């Protein structure tokens, strides 16, 4: 993160999405091995032959293998995938910007300058309200609204954003410096081009 900071910019906080999205993956991670062990023991005891008489003892390793493969598929394809997706999302608040980074292998990110933010809104469902999380919408005017989804401790995070906005330097910002005088602008940036003297 240090390489991505602008001169004079400081990181205020870094957070991830609310971890409630991991409830079912963790439940599957706990239940899948337990159910697989139960199913394998049930097959070894010969209960499969009682349910379906055409199943012979030679089928036992194959049936156990199917149970293990299904459990591994559930653990890798569901639990691990969801955990990695949750871990790959980060929200970073600095003294000048808000950055959202998504993905581990295929990276996607966006950033909003705090100077462009006109309004900071919080939206919460009943479950989010009970868990102190919520969605933060950043109204930037002309370019629309950016949304930080499922931010934990949403009230504190919004407070950090508002405090950072209050501490922004007053006046126009040009290359990290506060400009108080029009004469400090380069000639090509002034309206009307160069003065004819």
**pLDDT given for residue 197 in this prediction:** 42
Asked whether 104 and 112 are in contact (CB, 8 A), the reply is no
- Examine the domain organization and report whether 100 and 12 are in the same domain: yes
| Whether residue 108 is found in the same domain as residue 13 | yes
Residue 194 has pLDDT above 60, yes or no: no
- Which of the four pLDDT bands, split at 50, 70 and 90, describes residue 187? very low
Which tens digits make up the pLDDT trace of 49-92? 777 777 777 888 888 899 999 999 999 999 999 999 999 999 99
- What confidence tens digit (pLDDT) does each residue in 12-21 have? 899 998 888 8
Residue 42: Cβ-neighbour burial (10 angstroms; 0-12, 13-18, 19+) = middle
Q: Are residues 65 and 158 in the same domain?
A: no
The domain boundary, picked from 60, 87, 114, lies at 87
Residue 195 lies in a domain: no
Domain holding 59, by residue range, is: 21-87
Q: 103-112: per-residue pLDDT in tens?
A: 888 888 888 8
Conformation bin of residue 123: beta by default, left when phi > 0, alpha when psi is -120 to 50: beta
Q: What is the mean pLDDT of the chain?
A: 81
How far is C-alpha 149 from the geometric centre of its chain's CA atoms?
7
Same domain assignment for residues 123 and 82: no
pLDDT of residue 175: 44
Q: pLDDT tens digits for 94-153? A: 988 899 998 888 888 888 888 888 889 999 999 989 988 999 998 887 767 788 999 999
Q: How many CA atoms lie within 13 A of 182 on its CB side?
A: 2
Torsion of CA 15, 19, 22, 24, to 10 degrees: -160
CA gyration radius, the chain: 27
In whole angstroms, what is the distance from residue 173 CA to residue 101 CA? 25
Are residue 166 and residue 99 in the same domain, yes or no?
Answer: yes
Same domain, yes or no: 13 and 105: yes
Contacts with 76 (C-beta within 8 Å, 6 or more apart), sequence order: none
DSSP states of 65-108: HHHHHHHHHHIIIIIIHHHHHHHT-EEEEESSEEEEEE-SSS-E
């Amino acid at each position: 993160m240090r390489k991505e900071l602008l001169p004079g910019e400081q990181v205020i906080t870094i957070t991830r999405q609310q971890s409630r999205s991991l409830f079912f993956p963790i439940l599957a991670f706990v239940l899948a091995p337990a159910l697989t062990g139960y199913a394998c023991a049930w097959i070894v005891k010969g209960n499969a032959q009682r349910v379906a008489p055409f199943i012979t003892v030679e089928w036992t390793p194959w049936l156990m293998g199917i149970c293990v493969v299904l459990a591994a598929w559930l653990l890798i394809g569901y639990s691990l995938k969801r955990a990695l997706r949750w871990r790959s999302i980060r929200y970073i608040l600095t003294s000048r910007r808000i950055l959202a980074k998504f993905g581990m292998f295929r990276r996607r990110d966006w950033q909003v300058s705090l100077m462009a933010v006109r309004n900071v809104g919080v939206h919460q469902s009943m479950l989010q309200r009970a868990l102190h999380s919520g969605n933060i919408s950043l109204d930037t005017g002309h370019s629309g609204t950016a949304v930080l989804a499922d931010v934990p401790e949403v009230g504190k995070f919004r407070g950090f954003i508002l405090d950072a906005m209050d501490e922004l330097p007053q006046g126009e910002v040009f290359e990290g410096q506060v400009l108080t005088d029009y004469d400090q602008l380069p000639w090509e940036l002034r309206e009307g081009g160069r003065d004819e003297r």
